[in-house]
Chain A
Amino acid sequence: MPIHEKSLIRPENLQVHEKLEVEGVDVSGHWSTFIESRVVTDYNEAMEDEIAALPGGEYIHRCWQCGSCTNSCTVHALNPDFNPRYWIYLIRMGMESELLRDKEIIWQCVSCNKCTYACPRDVVPEGVMKATSHWLELKGHTPKSHSMIFDEIFSEQVFKTGKIEDGRTVRRFFKRTGQALRQPWLEEMVKRLLRNLPIGMLTRMGMANFITPKTKGWSGARDAIEEYVAEQESHHRQALRLDDLVEAARKEL
């Protein structure tokens, strides 16, 4: 894989004077190009602790920046901006505004666990990616990603009945994300699936739409799980000071 060169000079930090004369010499245009100096002052010192308080982020402090995670990363190979090592660095430094530049792609981690396999410090970078995506959503920096919506639909069903039925999960996902089910590739897939299926199978599949698969006697487990999840959510709200955020926003309004 080629080494990814990243320009450290951003266009918005370049200054060019259309008309500039210095000691009688005209240095207009690109002769006067310089980079605006920047002193970082906007650290968010709480960011590492907040992300460490979310499931998966617990071991972020162990990172020593070797880069094995990024080097092994499936998504990095498709998009060089997807850089777990760099994000872990930013989080530990508290450089929130830099992290937010990549906020739209962090959720794309595919959980292949190549990073966790390669990491010599047991940071569990895959977990850190999940915790960071949750943090971005909880703090209101990004809307819920499609991945998060899928996880929620799936988990709701498991918590309620103990099992999932995949057709139903898919339909709910498309509905909740406002996507049409009639997409050419999906239709082609169904067409090919139906080609060899006997009638009996089709009836069985059709019935699954009406009869939800269930684990018997699940209500005890359901209540216990829901209680635990609510408890955890309240811990996370506290750790991320979300109520303070809401209060501050209310005052501003």
Chain B
Amino acid sequence: MIRAKELSIKICSKEVKSVDVVKECFSRIKEVDSKVKAFLKLNEESALRQAQRVDKKENKKCGILEGIPIAIKDNIMVKGESMTSASKYLERYVSPYDATVIEKLKEAGTIFIGRTNMDEFAMGGSTETSAYKKTANPWNIEYIPGGSSGGSAAAVSAGMIPFALGSDTGGSIRQPAGFCGIVGYKPSYGLISRYGACALASSFDQIGTLTKNVMDAALLTSVIAGKDYRDPVCQPNEWIDYTKGLNGPDVLKTLKIGIPKQLSDYKIDPEITKYFNEAVNKLKAENAQVVEIDIPAYKYVPALYKVIMCAEVSANIATFDGIRYGYRSPNSVSLNDQYAKSRGESLGYEVKKRILFGTYVLGAKNYHRCYHQAQKVRTLLINQIEQAYKQCDFIFTPATLQMPVKFGETLPEECDIFLIAANLAGLAGITVPCSFTSNGMPMGVHFMGTRFSDAKLFKVANAFEKVASFDVDRYPTL
């Protein structure tokens, strides 16, 4: 599997046929997906037909991603296709329209290969809450791939597809990318339209990319980012080519990298600490300036995230009423009973638990002490992060504090707090793989930049990728 950037040039110049690329993807999928289980649905026939059309095209004008296959997380709508969000509730749902990112990908000429597995309604960090299947980590299939975009991360990591889309509400792109040894990018809040994506917690949700390398993340983002009146929080920014100047010289020189002193408050896997320190030294060797920053409110991140996210979940999932679409219980006697049974019978435990907790914290009796208080603590965290950016350009941490666990085991809640902080503050974040640990599994690091620093973030991540010794072209043996 070669890089998407190179593929786009070769397909456009007819040096490589799109049909051959698509066939290669499906042959790899057939070879390994019975073990990895990354995909919920595949569109082999339509993908091949689409690729043939690309190859037959006479005129030389190519879309930016003409003829390149992509996988889509199963919570983003593609017109006429099913979208389950890995829930039984949406088992028979067919999308009546394209999400904005899908419209843009179609315009750019990408080929849709299939839909990837995820935690039910993106609620989880292991892809185990999917109502359909459990996806494995391609580097060791006894371990979780992370989540909720676990299917997308595993598919890219195993070489089944050059890149994929995911969504990130509390690390859901970057954590699985870290666990699977690929690049995971969550844009600044408002950079990419969420129109047509299944909402989880609307003040955090963003669509983002899972790729083998930073260049492909920048390329894909250039296609899907941009203003959209249909997502009211989408900023009306001018179009940016994020690949431009990506390989420029001296990106790291004099760059100020902030490392939170709170890292020492947590139990971190010793190998993660070791390789993270090596990564810091590599940045120093490029003349980056490393400073210690202090954000005491990091300790509130798990509490903040759980309270606000569940509150927003309870509001968003309220739209699933079993009336306009989705599952309707055949066992009900009244309308209220129908709502309750339709949800009770079709939603998984994790989803129901979050709705119940969210409903509780929003209740008239608890609102002030729970939800309102959490929103104020969110302001505190944002203020402290803003202060920290006066001392540094980017905040640098390990992607996760622990390595992936086996199925059925749980990760400690502080495992991805440095990723979740980016969602709480609406900032841009990217994880880049940096090393393999002694058990043969990869680990990554996380750069977090200010809001709308995305172009610079790509440059820094790309420069780090070059100095990190991680072989981005290595694939797991399955």
- A and B held together in a complex: no
Binding site for A on B (CB under 8 A): none
Binding site for B on A (CB under 8 A): none
